[in-house]
Every structure is written in C-alpha cells, then in structure tokens.
Amino acid sequence: MRDNYLFTSESVSEGHPDKVSDQISDAIVDLMLAKDPESRIACETMTTTQRVVLAGEIRCKPIYDTARWPETHGWAPGARDEIEATVRNVVRDIGYEQDGFHWETLEFENHLHGQSDHIAQGVDANGNKDEGAGDQGIMFGFACDETEELMPAALHYSHRILKRLADDRKSGAAPFLEPDAKSQVSLRYQDGKPAAATAIVVSTQHAKGYDTGAKETELKDYVKRVVGEILPDGLISDETVWHINPTGSFEIGGPDGDAGLTGRKIIVDTYGGAAPHGGGAFSGKDPTKVDRSAAYASRYLAKNIVAAGLAKRCTIQLSYAIGVSEPLSLYVDTHGTGTVDDAALETAIGKITRLGGLTPRGIRTLLGLNKPIYRKTAAYGHFGRKAEGDFFPWEKTDLIDDLKAALG
C-alpha cells in the first residue's frame, strides 16, 4: 500500500436524475415489502423531462396476482394508482416542482409485470432445497479507520456536503438552492491518513439569478462555509482549490437536464472507488437478490473486523450462483494491516453460526432485511450511515465478540 498519494471521491444529491430513479425504485420495494415481506421485486426506473417510466418484474400477492385478478392482468384493484401515488410522493419529497419536472404534472408509465417462473423456481425454497440466490454475482464489502463511520474519508465528506445542502434547502436556510447537486473531494494522504483537502468541487442547481453578481457570491460563500463546517479542522487551507458551479449557470437540472436511470451511481452508493465493486446495483431489488443483501453482509463483516481492532482496512468478497444457497467463495483481505492472518479471519467467519452460513435466507434473517427500509438507502450512500431501529442494520458492530471468540 502507498502511504502518500492523492485520492478523489464524488457524491450526487437526492435530486440528481439517477438518484431520483434509485429512490423511486426503492420506494416501490418498500411499498411491496410492507404488504408482503416475501415479495420479489426488480424495479427499474427511467426519469426524463416530465416523465417517469417503471419496468421490471414483481411478485406481491396483495398487489399483483394473475390467479386472483386475471381480468386486470394480475393487478389488484387500486394497485396501479397506489404505485403511481408512491412515485409522485417521492418526487414531491425531493422537491421537484419545476416546469420541466413536477411531481403533480409529470407523465407516468407503469410497465411492471410478473416475475419469471424460471427465476422463481431457482430462488424459492422447495422441499429439501433451501432458498437460492436471486442471481449469480460477486459482492464486496469494505471498511477502514479513516473516519468514525469506518468509511473512506473523501466519499464520506462528499456525501455529508450534499446532505447538508439538501437539509438547508428544505428547511429554508438556503432558499436559493434547487434539488440537483454534485460534490467531489480530493484529499492528500500522508502516512496513510488524510492530511489536506487539495480540491473541492460543488455543482448545485440554483434559483434564477444566482449565477452572477452579489447573488453568485452569496451562493459560493455559503458553499464554502458548509464545506468548512463538515471537513475536519486542518484539511482546508489557502492551498485548497475550489470549483463551485464551474460551468457558470446551473438552473436547469434534475431529470429535465439529463435522463436518469436506476443503478447508474454504484460507486457513489458504495465506497467511492476506494474498494472494489461487484458490478450489481442495489436499488429496486428485494433482499433475495444477493447483489443487495450479500453486499450488505460483506460490509457488515468488514466493518466488524475493523471495529474489533483486527485490521485498519478490510475488503471482503462473497460470490454466489443463481438458485444456489451457499456462497461459492469467501475472501478476506486486510491489505497488510491485520493483526491476525487473513485466512484465519475467513475461518473465523465460517464458525459464527448466527451468520447462517451466509446464505440468502441466513443474511435476510440475521439483518432483518424483509422490511420496508430501503428508500433511505437510495441517496447519500448505503454505507457509513447510523443504524437506527430497523434501518441500516448492516452498520451495527455487534459481531466483535463473536469474531474474537471464533479466533480463540
């Protein structure tokens, strides 16, 4: 590992078109899991100027059942209206009431349909067959000691900058802001630790007139103040390079400025490029899809290893085959920072019985994933968040004693 280097991560706000799509997809997941915890959902969303389109496969008996409602092509009475209302509520909550994208007047299309029987037969438990993975794939989890949240610092600060902008916009503290925004933080590492912020980039959609004169100065001064309050003391200096709305005007934004799709911000969702990513997106998927649940489990394991003081950095990989319950492989890499051998950590993980063998059912049961907890994950990162109640259970550090006991 290099000790001295520059590293950059970015984030995008809840009003970014791709994040609008992610939040809509996860709101549909929550809607169906609230009605049927065993629902199957693979919901993709496309957003563009005054239009939202849903597509994908579902199985949720209170909402969609071809045997019960063949005359409506499987849809329960009122279900289509409930889905549309859910979509519009998400757009309204984000804050879009613009001519080019308005929660009340946008055109909506619903192309969701029933889950493939051939996929279902591989995933469902049947007789002596345990529930299988919803797809093949590789999933990664990561943790490091750069922040209290055990997340890479550049990504963590990028998220927090945009979350603060959104909070101030909604509270009225920054009424000149609009929903779409992006951030980017470049840090210089010295002896493996963040030592200086070399560059800060913030592009935020704004009200008319805040691209020139005194109003532009007000916006830029506000952004600098927010960044200064979020980054730890000592990182920002006179040498820090600032790029605030570097293109000039940013009045047209969100889905009106660029089309959005579910799953296009997977590096923002995970570790900001500081760790590998398996390639599968999370949003819009129920927890039988290991793209989501096994990525959460991998983060859970990596975070507990670092929290236990067993490593300063930890990457974990899991792999699965569709329809097969047991993972095909488990890989641990502490990047030379571990206090025990990486192979010993792999063995220890296998000894912890409450992990359920890291099968899809075991993960869902341990972390309580069959609940409507996903819309909150769809902006500002799936990891590094505070575990509260049913939300973000993979951020708990309650495996420390189990790991130490398994290591003897």
Q: Which residues are catalytic?
A: 16, 18-19, 44, 57, 182, 250, 258-259, 264-265, 285, 289, 291
Distance, in Å, from the CA atom of 200 to the CA atom of 154, rounded to the nearest integer, reads 10
3-state secondary structure of 188: strand
What phi and psi values does residue 342 have, to the nearest 5 degrees?
Answer: -60, -40
- Quickly count helices (H) and strands (E) in the chain: 11, 13
Is 44 marked as binding a ligand? yes
DSSP bridge partners of 97:
102
Is 343 marked as binding a ligand? no
Is 376 marked as binding a ligand? no
Distance, in Å, from the CA atom of 155 to the CA atom of 185, rounded to the nearest integer, reads 7
Is 289 marked as binding a ligand? yes
For residue 172, count CB atoms less than 10 angstroms from its CB and return exposed for 0-12, middle for 13-18, buried for 19 or more: exposed
Is 182 marked as binding a ligand? yes
3-state secondary structure of 347: helix
Distance, in Å, from the CA atom of 21 to the CA atom of 78, rounded to the nearest integer, reads 23
Write down the H helix ranges in 208-322.
Answer: 213-230, 254-257, 266-269, 290-307
DSSP designation for 386: P
Is 265 marked as binding a ligand? yes
Is 129 marked as binding a ligand? no
Is 215 marked as binding a ligand? no
Tokens of 319: 């792999």
Q: Could you tell me if 364 and 133 are in contact, meaning their C-beta atoms sit under 8 angstroms apart?
A: no
Is 166 marked as binding a ligand? no
Is 285 marked as binding a ligand? yes
Q: Could you tell me if 112 and 42 are in contact, meaning their C-beta atoms sit under 8 angstroms apart?
A: no
Is 180 marked as binding a ligand? yes
Among left, alpha and beta (phi > 0; psi -120 to 50; other), residue 168 is alpha
Q: Which is it for strands 107-114 and 51-59: parallel, antiparallel or unpaired?
A: parallel
CA-based nearest residue to 16, from 295, 269, 216: 269
Is 281 marked as binding a ligand? yes
Could you tell me which residues are annotated as the binding site for K(+)?
A: 44
Could you tell me which residues are annotated as the binding site for Mg(2+)?
A: 18
Could you tell me which residues are annotated as the binding site?
A: 16, 18, 44, 57, 115, 180-182, 258, 264-265, 281, 285, 289
